[in-house]
A and B are shown apart, each in its own frame.
Chain A
């Protein structure tokens, strides 16, 4: 009863608080653990929206992003969501933070009936079909699908029986994914030999790498924040392990491949690298230059994708915007990714993740002294 009353009051308040812009609220880990991954997404998102506004906005109105730092803390995320909903009267909430901040933001979103969009943070399974009516996601990561794509690649490359090891950080979402991957590997005829879960953060990854190396895997798959993925790999190499290591392509993957320069270190991801030099990459470079962003341009694809999603959503939201109109637009959205992904991003009433997830794999080629693509877009249908 209370909830209904609150929702009604909030709905009534929206038209009264008539705004001159599409107001979107973001709670993001701009500081604290994970800021290295989330802050560039938000900066790129802001730059893209400024670029859109400079060209006249959408439907003749500007988009206003209100960004609040949550430091990856659930309590701050809850306070941010409350403030964005009640004071800023946002028509869409965005989460770009650690998974620990999801629950309080989801609660606030549901209470207010305002759609919550995960842009740059790991997609919760609630966005997969059958999707939660209020939750949407465009981030590259896709729980379970990523492991399917990764292990599919391992199988396609293996010329001998696969003895696979797993590494993850001790955070719920990474542990769940690596457990899923371990079980999946068995069904794909691989032999899981060891699984190492390291705490966030570990002062030295060698003790974890030692046990993993001692199990003698010929492949290792890791799906975690970058620090855990790459430090485990580097420690294993220093211990003399010669196998192949496959891991998730975070924002910094293109630069990191060039730093690590190891021919058997593979990354799997869904966003095109800047080495493709697509027209959209030139646009990202130009916008980044104008906004004077301090991050390398290679870190900004995910934020641009989020910006493109916001732009498309608001284009399909007739003026004056309300959360209900935004929700209707999001339930029937198709965004042309312009080559940044393997295909368009499509949301339907039932699927708030995407209808197809496309994966590519890259590695460093010592002979060419360059990052090379090992596998082109492989699509996985996202079904119920």
Chain B
């Protein structure tokens, strides 16, 4: 039972992070390699709002989530819109440069000390019993619930809302979508906003469990294989890919060797690339090799 809980929490972490990779790629075919840094920025955002709205934790959380969304839109507005029409490689390189810039800026503004946003919110990370034999941390439970809510919300948004349908249309055929009057810049900005929002939420929740460390950026990259395994242009794929990678990781830690946990996501990814390069739920014809 405990293993199932561990898999659920790790899969939720990977799924919440990889959803950002998928959203941006699906709509604009750009692979954002600054996702880990944007995730960390979200975590620092929570630490900042927690001290700004001291004693009002819910206000702090809502403010930091809104801030993450705005940062994503801003990244598109300031940097990525200039990449529209450029080669995919140029856009990917721009995200790498953005990542380096953000990493440096965060050290300058927030320093290198570990921070504990949960403590700053005035909450504790309680241990909750799951049945008779398993336990989950409050932050872990929040991660699972938020991930479920985010995926449920995105499913409804992309299927039912006008902007969601526009996003899907722009992702399928940008030229045709533009000719039909859809504002591509608006759609792309929204995709960046939503991706940074979900990444920021992941950063906030992970750091509620573990504190803000400089290594958070690397955790952002660790979710990348999950997105690729599922298929870079499929949200369902990101969810299933995260479950596959997390399951393999947790089971190998428990039954074989904990050292394998670092290589397992990439082993699963390699196996997938050999057998089905477009991922479990990805679209074959959408493959774009950089």
Residues of chain A at the chain B interface (Cβ within 8 Å):
30-36, 39-40, 170, 196-208, 210-211, 226-227, 231, 234-235, 237-240, 252, 259, 294-296, 299
Contact = CB atoms under 8 A, between A and B. Distances in A.
A227 B206 CA distance: 13
B266 to A, nearest CB: 12
Which of B104, B216, B259 gathers most chain A CB within 10 Å? Answer: B259
Interface in B97-140: 103-104, 107, 111-114, 116, 119, 125, 127, 135, 137, 140
B9 A206 contact: yes
Contacts of B119: 259
Given A31-B107, A208-B253, A295-B113, A201 B216 contact: yes
Given A36-B213, A36-B214, A240-B135, A207 B10 contact: yes
Which of B210, B214, B250, B258 has the most A CB atoms < 10 Å from its CB? B258
B215 A227 contact: yes
Contacts of A208: 253, 258, 261
B213 to A, nearest CB: 5
B2 A239 contact: yes
A226 B13 CA distance: 22
Nearest to A296: B113
B16 to A, nearest CB: 10
Nearest to B116: A259
A31 B213 contact: no
Interface string B177-200: 000000000000000000000000
B206 A207 contact: no
Contact of A204 (B6, B111, B214): B6
Question: Closest 8 interchain pairs by CB?
Answer: A201-B215, A199-B262, A238-B127, A35-B112, A36-B112, A207-B253, A203-B219, A207-B250
A211 B258 CA distance: 9
B162 interface: no
Interface of B: 2-3, 6, 9-10, 13-14, 103-104, 107, 111-114, 116, 119, 125, 127, 135, 137, 140, 206, 209-211, 213-216, 218-219, 222-223, 249-250, 253-254, 258-259, 261-262
A274 to B, nearest CB: 16
Nearest to A69: B107
Best-buried of A203, A226, A227 by chain B (most CB within 10 Å): A203
Contacts, number: 106
B239 to A, nearest CB: 16
A141 to B, nearest CB: 19
B114 A36 contact: yes
A43 to B, nearest CB: 10
A1 to B, nearest CB: 42
B246 to A, nearest CB: 9
A227 B107 CA distance: 18
A204 B254 contact: no
Contacts of B137: 206, 235, 238
B102 to A, nearest CB: 12
A226 B214 CA distance: 13
Contacts of A203: 10, 13-14, 206, 219, 222-223
A197 B253 CA distance: 10
Contacts of B219: 201, 203
Nearest to A71: B103
A35 B107 contact: yes
B107 A240 contact: no
A39 B254 contact: no
Given A204-B140, A210-B254, A252-B114, A33 B261 contact: no
A170 B10 contact: no
B261 A201 contact: no
Contacts of A252: 113-114
A204 B127 contact: no
Contact of B214 (A32, A238, A239): A32
Given A198-B261, A239-B2, A207 B249 contact: yes
A292 to B, nearest CB: 13
18 contacts: A33-B215, A35-B112, A36-B112, A36-B114, A200-B218, A201-B216, A203-B10, A203-B222, A206-B140, A210-B3, A227-B215, A234-B125, A238-B137, A239-B2, A239-B135, A240-B127, A240-B135, A252-B114
A207 B261 contact: yes
A296 B112 CA distance: 12
Nearest to A208: B258
Nearest to B257: A197
Contacts of B2: 210, 239
Contacts of B114: 36, 226-227, 252
A39 B249 contact: no
Nearest to B222: A203
Contacts of A259: 116, 119
Contacts of B104: 31
Contacts of B214: 31-36
Contacts of A39: 111-112
B213 A204 contact: no
Contact of B253 (A30, A201, A211): A211
A234 to B, nearest CB: 8
B44 to A, nearest CB: 14
Nearest to B2: A210
A203 B2 CA distance: 17
Contacts of A35: 107, 112, 214
Contacts of B127: 237-240
